[in-house]
Amino acid sequence: FDASQYAAELRSHWADNGGDASYALLTRAFVLANATSSRIKIVDTLVNFLRVLIEGDPSSILPAVWLATNSISPPYDELELGLGGSSISKALKKIYGLSSQGLKTLYDKHGDAGDVAFEAKKRQSFTLVKPKPLRIKGVYHSLMKIATSKGTGSQETKQRIVEKLLQDARGAEESRYIVRTLVQNLRIGAVKTTMLIALARAFLYSKPAGAGFEVRPLDQLARLKKDELAEIYSNAEEIVKASYARHPDYNDLVPCLLDIGPTDELLIRCGLTMHIPLRPMLGSITRDLSEMLTKLQGRDFSCEYKYDGQRAQVHCDEQGKVSIFSRHLELMTGKYPDLVSLVPQIRGEGISSFILEGEVVAVDRETGDLLPFQVLANRAKKNVELGDIKVNVCLFSFDLMYLNGEPLLDRSFRERRELLRSLFVEIPNLFTWVKSMDASSADSESILEFFKSATEVKCEGIMVKLLDNETNTTTNQPPTSLSTTDTEQPVHQSETPTTKPKEKAKEKSSRRKPLLSTYEPDKRLESWLKVKKDYSSSSETLDLIPVAGWHGQGRKAKWWSPILLAVRNPETGTLEAVTKCMSGFTDKFYASNKEKYAPGSANLISRPSYVDYHGEPDVWFEPQEVWEMAFADITLSPTYPAAIGLVSEDRGLSLRFPRFLGVREDKSIDEATTGDYLALLWRKQGERAAGGEGEGEEE
Ligand code: ATP
């Protein structure tokens, strides 16, 4: 890989394309990105590509960014391509002259629709009329037309656009990526973070003609020391990431970058905005209360019930207009008209506008008792009328991010919470605050009581949040030993004067890092910890994708058992097998699973190229579901490729005693657990175990 050669190649592109960037240019970037699993190389490829557009055709950057991030608009815009697999198959047959059998043979061989298009295009007989090259802007506009055509005749319109795109694709690679784009599975590593890093760096080097911001000449950057350059990169990346976390819409970010580059002003021009959801702050995992106390020792924190519902971000402007967004930034205003109707009552005197966050939980209207998540999941997913609501909910609010025109993100949690609780009006069983208890690590007895009371009312555990910003080092009082698993048998070893030097060094380094209690969108920090109810020895669960099955034995002969499950690799788009599971399923579930993945149904597919597993299951499932799985612990595995390369060069990770808990109806496969996360859990498990690394082998 030679970045400068690639940049020169890209530049020569303008000679043939008269300033309107061709789709071939983007395809070339996809091919290069796809050829490597190195994040650095993928970033380099994108930086080079973006720089050529910045200097030669800035108007193609925005459509290119959407296409490269496998989307056409932000999640809350509710625009969907809505193309079924049959529409793509029909177009492939028509444009590439394939018979139904020919198409099936290609699908059986390749699995991925894009790979099928690649092969079909390669085999296509010579066409006399060479189509005009596809343009980046043109492809994006075609997708927008597909997403926005509604009503009678819209299916035909969409079909015509799909066929035209396939017809105009010039080479086999263009066909591959057009089809992958249409099925919204690009399978390159240009996901959100990679793209944000690439944008930040590209605008450090290049600017459009006439833009007012400064770029560093290349020769000047080349003379910098490695760490000076790293600092310049990291500042720009932090600004771009922070802007996107507060205002996750490329339609606003890209024009701002073209105008002012990755400067501090970006956060003012493209920051927290009413009716645009910010990306939520996330909690870090802890094994149990002991670990939580160790992490937060010497600090004041708040323990809160961790309710089992759906996260909601509520925006209300000065005119009283309300928007409600989900954890994944989808618009839910129509789903919760009952919450919308509460807003005028909860808005206390002196509140003009606000953004608050809380957990929506199904409750018994009379008693206020919390009901399980499954009850909430039964509620209609889309727009409902107030009168048709069957499942009552209560919003348990836990944070306030914006008030009366002012972002509160930089305020301490104590201040934000005080504003929330003093200004808003509680309505019993409809709107209230999360149940909480302020504490410090000395209060271990009462924290354990609080934790128990949370689990008794069917909460998932507790969230523990730092109350104040820390400016300097704090005293390290040894925490009282405590375990959620067994209160009689403390698992934590309190510090004694004979602490080993290694532990001392570890502690010193953790003392050096002051923790902040500010609201940090899109970050998973140690200032928000979650402590969940224990399952076996692991308190975490994983959200895995069922990808294959075997014929069951004996009593289970009629069903698929065991079932192979996978984690996601967001870098490569691959699904990496992590474990086989045959525990936790009821007979009823087995039967419905067999019905869903019945022989001959479209839900069974031939071996997909994008699932990484070397064994031979009897059938492959079309990946479409997310299952919540419990497990005893994570092990290094010579058989399963999950997270390979992250903790060991030649071994992946697997689970011991995996157990099915339920289907995550609220999650799509894009939200399933990633290999990175699994590796993080493995490391945490290693830190906990005596001697650290290298938990035993998979059983
Ligand atoms: P992630 O941490 O990625 O959100 P997840 O969606 O599986 O993972 P958990 O890790 O189980 O969720 O926990 C975080 C979620 O807990 C929040 O997103 C929120 O929906 C919910 N929650 C319930 N009670 C609280 C609370 N008091 N404070 C913050 N979050 C809460």
User: Given this model, what pLDDT does residue 20 score?
Assistant: 87
For the record, the structure tokens of 29 come out as: 């970037």
**Average pLDDT for residues 687-693, to the nearest whole number?**
49
- Ligand 1 centroid–CA 283 distance in Å is 7
- By most ligand atoms within 8 Å of CB, the mutation choice from 285, 286, 311, 329 for ligand 1 is 311
pLDDT value of position 17: 60
Given this model, what pLDDT does residue 274 score?
Answer: 97
Ligand 1 and 398: CB distance under 6 A: yes
The reported pLDDT for the residue numbered 689 is 58
pLDDT at 557: 86
Cβ of 312 below 6 Å from ligand 1: no
Which of 282, 329, 435 for a ligand 1 pocket mutation test, highest count of atoms within 8 Å of Cβ?
A: 282
To test the ligand 1 pocket, which listed residue (286, 302, 307) has its Cβ within 8 A of the most ligand atoms? 307
Q: Is the pLDDT of residue 145 over 80?
A: yes
Query: Does ligand 1 have an atom closer than 6 angstroms to the CB of 461?
Result: no
Q: Cα separation of 536 and 553, whole Å?
A: 27
**Among 285, 302, 306, 519, residue to substitute to test ligand 1 (most atoms within 8 Å of Cβ):** 306
What Rg, from alpha-carbon coordinates, does the chain have? 27
User: Over the stretch 593-607, which tens digit does the pLDDT of each residue have?
Assistant: 999 998 888 889 888
**Structural contact between residues 585 and 660, judged by C-beta atoms closer than 8 angstroms:** yes
Q: Is the pLDDT reported for residue 187 higher than 70?
A: yes
Q: Does ligand 1 come within 6 angstroms of the Cβ of 168?
A: no
User: Rounded to a whole number, what is the distance in angstroms from the first to the last CA of the chain?
Assistant: 41
For residue 192, the CA-to-ligand 1 centroid distance in Å is: 21
Q: Is the dihedral of CA 522, 525, 529, 533 positive or negative?
A: positive
Compute the distance from residue 282 Cα to the ligand 1 centre, in Å.
7
pLDDT at 208: 92
Buried b (16+ CB within 10 A) or exposed e, 371-390: bebebbbebeeeebeeeeee
Q: What is the pTM of this model?
A: 0.78
- CB of residue 306 inside a 6 A radius of ligand 1: yes
What atom of ligand 1 comes closest to residue 530's alpha carbon?
13
pLDDT band at 130 (very low <50, low <70, confident <90, very high): confident
pLDDT number for residue 4: 66
- Residue 282 Cβ contacting ligand 1 at under 6 Å: yes
pLDDT band at 649; cut points 50, 70, 90? confident
Separation of 460 CA from ligand 1 center, angstroms? 9
Query: Half-sphere exposure of 400 toward its Cβ, with a 13 Å CA cutoff?
Result: 25
Using the mean position of ligand 1's atoms as its centre, give its distance from the Cα of residue 543 in Å.
Answer: 14
pLDDT at 498: 38
- Find out whether the beta carbon of 311 lies less than 6 Å from any atom of ligand 1: yes
* Residue 128 pLDDT grade (very low, low, confident, very high; cuts 50, 70, 90): low
Given a cut of 90, whether residue 91 has pLDDT beyond it is: yes
Closest ligand 1 atom number to CA of residue 308: 23
Report the percent of the chain where pLDDT is more than 70: 88
Determine which residue's CA is closest to atom 10 belonging to ligand 1. 283
Give the model confidence (pLDDT) of 546-596 as tens digits. Answer: 999 999 888 888 999 999 999 999 888 889 999 999 888 999 999 999 999
pLDDT value of residue 479: 42
Is the pLDDT at 317 greater than 90? The verdict is: yes
Does residue 457 contact residue 370 with C-beta atoms inside 8 Å?
A: yes
Q: Does ligand 1 have an atom closer than 6 angstroms to the CB of 434?
A: yes
Mean pLDDT of the chain: 87
Calculate how far, in angstroms, residue 306's C-alpha sits from the geometric centre of ligand 1. 7
Does the C-beta of 519 come closer than 6 Å to ligand 1?
no
Residue 599 CA to its chain's centroid (Å): 32
Residue 75 has pLDDT above 60, yes or no: yes
Helix-helix angle 23-34:39-56, to 10 degrees: 170
Q: CB of 279 closer than 6 A to ligand 1? A: no
**pLDDT on residue 473:** 52
Report pLDDT for 167: 93
Gap between the Cα atoms of 332 and 316, Å rounded: 14
Pocket perturbation via mutation, ligand 1, pick of 303, 305, 308, 327 by most ligand atoms within 8 A of CB: 327
Q: Give backbone dihedrals phi and psi of 453, rounded to 5 degrees, phi first.
A: -65, -35
Q: Name which residue leads in pLDDT, 136 or 130.
A: 136
> Could you identify the residue written with the tokens 């198409």?
103
Cis before 617 (ω within 30): no
Those residues whose C-beta lies under 8 Å from the C-beta of residue 242, and which sit 6 or more positions away, are: 267, 521
Residue nearest to atom 24 of ligand 1 (CA): 306
| Residue found by looking up tokens 């030097």 in the block | 501
CA of 663 to the centre of ligand 1 (A): 17
How far is ligand 1, taken at its centre, from the CA of residue 312, in Å? 11
Centroid of ligand 1 to alpha carbon of 433 (angstroms):
15
Residue by residue, DSSP assigns 162-223 as HHHHHHH--SHHHHHHHHHHHTT---SS--HHHHHHHHHHHHHH---TT--S----HHHHHH
Task: Tell me the pLDDT tens digit for each residue of 509-540.
Answer: 445 478 999 999 999 999 999 998 754 345 68
Which ranges of 206-276 would DSSP assign to H, the alpha helix? 218-223, 226-246, 250-260, 266-269
Q: How far is the CA of 567 from the centre of ligand 1 (A)?
A: 20
Kindly list the catalytic residues: 306
Spatial distance between the Cα atoms of 302 and 508, rounded to a whole number of angstroms = 24
Q: What is the pLDDT of residues 324-363, one digit of tens each?
A: 999 999 999 999 999 999 999 999 999 999 999 999 999 9
Q: Which residue has the tokens 């020391």?
A: 225
Residue with CA at minimum distance from ligand 1 atom 19: 311
Residue 307 in contact with ligand 1 by CB distance below 6 A: yes
**Is residue 465 lining ligand 1, measured as CB closer than 6 Å?**
no
Q: Which residues pair with 530 in a beta bridge?
A: 285, 463
Q: Region 466-474: what's the mean pLDDT?
A: 79
Q: Which letter, b or e, does each residue of 288-321 get, where b requires 16 or more Cβ atoms within 10 Å of its Cβ?
A: bbbbbbbbbbebebbbbbbbbbbbbbbbbeeeee
Structure tokens at 21: 């960037």
Give the pLDDT band (50/70/90) at residue 6.
low
Instruction: Supply the DSSP symbol for 435.
Output: P
pLDDT tens digits, 488-515: 333 233 333 334 444 444 444 445 478 9
- What are the strands, taking DSSP E only, across 448-511? 461-466
Nearest ligand 1 atom, CA 310: 20
Q: Is the pLDDT of residue 65 over 80?
A: yes
Whether ligand 1 lies within 6 angstroms of the CB of 287 is answered as no
Quick one: CA dihedral 522, 528, 531, 532, positive or negative? negative
Residue nearest (by alpha carbon) to ligand 1 atom 16? 306
Using N-to-C axis directions, what is the helix angle for 100-110 and 113-123, rounded to 10°? Answer: 120
